[in-house]
């Protein structure tokens, strides 16, 4: 069976790709590789999520990117929110190494990157948790990202996620509402839903 982007230590041959992408009005340089999600360019769902996030009602504090891949969401937020510490976690070691390389290549110093299966190695609380969940890893993983986020959010902190309608956005919306007592569809774009919940 072929290695999947949500697995640890993929043993695929390297096939490095370099590209630049503008996110939140900042140009960011990326290196990606085989064995990681959306290696050719920043995937459309992540783009929609990145551009939708509104910091106006989010308390000041740290940010957590769950399932960070090679880093587009975390890096774009760290580049804009320079006073925030951004933590980025994933299970894919190759993706994490790329995220570290991309952090260094873009001169960012407010990022902490390490291996974690969902929140297992994560400590502390965050003002914002963001995720483009690894749907192919299975419903249990997506459910854990949504449900357990509540334990890692500060008061009035927010969870923002992106999911396609056909990949379970409506059921995720129901789960977030059940978990937090609130959920908002921030935007819909080409079948992608941006959902957010606040810890009240």
Sketch the domain layout of the chain as residue ranges.
17-198
Please state, in angstroms and as integers, the Cα–Cα distance from residue 83 to each residue in 80, 87, 108, following that order. 9, 13, 11
Instruction: Say how far apart CA 4 and CA 61 lie, in whole Å.
Output: 33
Q: And the tokens for 156?
A: 């009035």
> Who contacts 169 (Cβ-Cβ below 8 Å, separation ≥6)?
163, 192, 193, 195
Q: With respect to CATH, is domain 17-198 assigned 3.40.50.150?
A: yes
Report the pLDDT averaged over residues 124-143. 93
CA–CA separation, 127 vs 54, rounded Å? 12
User: What is the reported pTM?
Assistant: 0.92
Kindly indicate the confidence band of residue 135, based on its pLDDT and cuts at 50, 70 and 90: confident
Return the pLDDT at 1: 32
Distance separating alpha carbons of residues 66 and 30, to the nearest angstrom: 19
Task: Identify the residue with better confidence: 95 or 123.
Answer: 123
Q: Percent of the chain beyond pLDDT 70?
A: 90
- Across the chain, mean pLDDT equals 91
How does residue 19 score in pLDDT terms, banded at 50, 70 and 90? confident
Name the residue among 48, 82, 73 with its Cα closest to residue 164. 48
């Amino acid at each position: 069976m072929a290695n999947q982007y949500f697995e640890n230590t993929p043993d695929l041959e390297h096939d490095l790709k370099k590209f630049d992408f503008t996110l939140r009005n900042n140009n960011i340089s990326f290196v990606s590789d085989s064995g990681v999600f959306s290696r050719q360019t920043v995937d459309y769902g992540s783009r929609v999520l990145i551009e939708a996030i509104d910091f106006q009602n989010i308390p000041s504090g740290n940010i957590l990117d769950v399932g960070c891949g090679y880093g587009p969401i975390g890096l774009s937020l760290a580049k804009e929110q320079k006073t925030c510490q951004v933590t980025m976690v994933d299970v894919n070691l190759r993706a994490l190494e790329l995220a570290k390389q991309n952090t260094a290549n873009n001169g960012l110093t407010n990022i902490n990157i390490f291996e974690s299966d969902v929140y297992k190695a994560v400590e502390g609380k965050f003002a914002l948790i963001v995720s483009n969940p690894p749907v192919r890893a299975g419903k249990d993983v997506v459910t854990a990202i949504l449900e357990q986020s509540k334990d890692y959010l500060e008061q009035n902190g927010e969870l923002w996620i992106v999911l396609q309608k056909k990949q379970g956005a409506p059921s995720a919306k129901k789960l977030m509402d059940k978990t937090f007592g609130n959920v908002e569809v921030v935007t819909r774009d080409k079948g992608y839903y941006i959902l957010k919940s606040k810890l009240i």
